[in-house]
Structure 1
Amino acid sequence: MKFAAMLPHLDERQRRLYLASEASALGHGGIAAVARLAEVSESTIVRGRDELAGGASVLGPVRRPGGGRRPAAERDPGLVPALEALIEPREVGDPVSPPRWTTASLRDLARELTATGHPISAPAVGKLLHSMGFSLQGMAKTRAGSQLPDRDTQFRHINTTVERLLDQGLPVVSVDTKQKEPIGDFARPGRTYRPKGLSITAPDHDFVDPGVPFAIPYGIYDLGQDTGWVNVGTDRNTAAFAVESIRRWWNQQGRQDYPDATRLLITARGWPVESVRPMKARTSLSALRMCSPLMRVFSPPRSY
């Protein structure tokens, strides 16, 4: 009963020393009795007795260097080439560069390797891939788009112009379209305080029909006042909608904040339909001068 309670909690070396101490306490015939009760060989107990007699340290490695089960790649020299052959058709990246990855799962690789005569488990495949330079990685959005040779010069020009107009007390706004939302009985993010058990319900699936209208928020951020203004429309996200949003901001808010303004600087990531109808966006933008006959409107060229 003592051995059954203690031995499962000890490693090989600790079991060997413990059994040797019990055999020594029993005296003559103790080695045979302990070996029979613990179901180990007598040579194991004799080895433990010799280690105790030699003053074995309490802590230390369980096995001698080189002991234990050999790695799978050493036991099966053809395992790594077989794994390379499975990875190659599904590998992504430059084969001659260190960063490489595969779309196959560990279980799929282990199953295919076992079927080809190389039995291995999924965790062992993971360790082998790690030793080959593979690791679990997510997708990283790092690839930049096409770069213009004078992009840095353009942004420096925008920054200088913005600072100059702000120093003069003139309006500078940054405009952009925000996330569109379908109008109707759809699930929405966020939480509200309600009586317990009376939560707002929505269909388990959001199916947006072609005729469902969308709410399009168009945001205008005033850099000088550090304030935001949003115009929500249900029409298409067109250049006319963008210009009308700016016009409404000026008539309802901008004119009050800048009563003596003669110029307005607009910075935008890109007009909604400029890639398709660039002239329509510029024609609509020029109509902003109708907000104030003395107002001069600046906007970044399309390359910005």
Structure 2
Amino acid sequence: MEYARKPAAISNESVVRRHPRLLEEVRRRLRVKHYSLRTEQAYLYWIRRYIHANGKRHPREMGGKQVEAFLTQLATRDRVSASTQNQALSALLFLYREVLAQDLPWMENVVRAKRSPRLPVVLSRAETRALLAALSGREALQAGLLYGSGLRLMECLRLRIKDVDLARNEITVREGKGRKDRRTVLPGSLRAALRVQIDQVRVLHLRDLEAGFGAVSLPAALARKYPNAEKELAWQYVFPAMRRAVDPLDGREKRHHLDAGVLQRAVRSAARLAGIDKPVSPHTLRHCFATHLLEAGADIRTVQELLGHKDVATTQIYTHVLNRGAGGVLSPLDR
């Protein structure tokens, strides 16, 4: 759930005022289980919306009938996608199982929406070169990592200096999707730009330390285990935010990573400048990484490991552009 889309806020705050202890307990349980902040925000949103949709009744007074009606309403009236509906269901399952500790025999009748298989948007090599050429500076480096290393957007933004090995041309992704670590290739053509970026982070970090700040958020309990690590250069983000901000987990002012919207907007603008008439996002570059590697003859198991896919079947979707797919068939009209 690490990469859940951040939903819009509910305007009716009476739900929060009426059930403050319940929502605080949900937040506490999420943090005990080390769920990401984005997942926490999404789960709280769906729980508030579920309570509001049922006249602000306490979830303990409701059950399968109300959950099924809520999910059906999302699909029929609000026309949400299958992934969004499943996210709402996961939030309610967490509420009843982990917070209210209720037995859920009625959940057997609640069916998860089935996601329709969709082929990813993939750019040609020429289109990819044009897209990258239309970017500059920090955004060009980030896009280069997405395409050259197969990183997800948030994996790139959460990359820390200690996980970039310039000597071995290797990047270590920590707690990627499914909370799994993996190693992937670091393009040699980006080494010089990464050195410059890390030097800039070093200067920014020294300024923060001189101003009495310089801390960064650490995963899980590392802040207690290594109390000085949060101010070490090795733990700083490779792409830090321009301004410090208050950490919602402990209320301290820290230097976080860049917001995802910065690169998303830059890639959309670059696609327009490059004249690419396809729906392009930063994640498109990860699709291009996998497809272009397979086109070049890379082993599909190797690509699976670089991408961090749990099942090779997920990686096989990229074979739709290879010669053994539809693109390798000669149309009878051309014969």
TM range (shorter): under 0.3
Given the two structures, how large is their TM-score scaled by the length of structure 2?
Answer: 0.18
* TM-score, scaled to structure 1: 0.19
* Higher percent of residues as helix: 2
Which of the pair has the greater relative contact order for Cα pairs under 8 Å at 6+ separation?
2
